[in-house]
Amino acid sequence: MEQKRLCVSGLKVRDIIQVSLMAAITYIATAIINIPTGVLVKGVVHMGDSMVLLAAILIGRKKAFLSAAIGMSLFDVLSSYVIWAPFTFLIKGIMAWIAATIAYRGEYNGEKFWNNIIAFIVACIWMVAAYYAAGVLIMHFVTNIAFSKAIILSAAEIPGNIAQSIVGIAIALPLAKVLKRANLGK
């Protein structure tokens, strides 16, 4: 018997479920374990990056972009970090896109451990740099701090973002390996 596929304007129901599930898991990982940071512009160090990176391996570029962007932005909108939501949407979405693009480049299929490490590191470098730039913009345009001073003050968030990245990579790598072996994902 031929199996019929349910589609909503080109989207498969499976795709919608995968994006929704990973967005929810990303939100939960961010909301449950987080440490507020920042004095002038509030930020947070959290566990959500591990799920952003995991999504890149499990569900690929487009779906990982959406799940990361939605899950992380949802956290910002539902907490006191709403000013960060538009930046988070793009930064975390692109972070997932970068990780998935590298993890699935050429002959790789998101299964090579060392390639995934490279993918995650490059994606996290993007995230750290992008949040630094976003912090400068928010400090300058929202809190009216001089641009030269904002450049210096925003650097205070870099160590927290690096630590968050390291922990995210340490959690996502073994999880991705186990879940890929179990044939969960794409």
Say which CATH number the domain at 31 has: 1.10.1760.20
| Enclosing domain of residue 134 | 12-181
Rounded to an integer, what distance in angstroms lies between the CA atom of residue 173 and that of residue 145?
39
85 inside domain: yes
Which token pair is 149?
Answer: 């001073």
Closest CA to 103 of 89, 117, 91: 117
2 inside domain: no
146 inside domain: yes
97 inside domain: yes
Q: From first to last of its 186 residues, what are the pLDDT tens digits of the chain?
A: 445 555 556 678 999 999 999 999 999 999 998 887 765 566 778 899 999 999 999 999 999 999 999 999 999 999 988 999 999 999 999 999 999 999 999 999 999 999 999 999 999 999 999 999 999 999 999 999 999 999 999 999 899 899 899 999 999 999 999 999 888 776
Helices 13-32, 48-59: crossing angle, 10 deg rounding? 160
Q: What is the DSSP letter of 54?
A: H
1 inside domain: no
Rounded to an integer, what distance in angstroms lies between the CA atom of residue 123 and that of residue 48?
14
22 inside domain: yes
6 inside domain: no
4 inside domain: no
Four-residue CA torsion sign, 44, 130, 127, 20: positive
Rounded to an integer, what distance in angstroms lies between the CA atom of residue 111 and that of residue 83?
37
Number of domains the chain is built from: 1
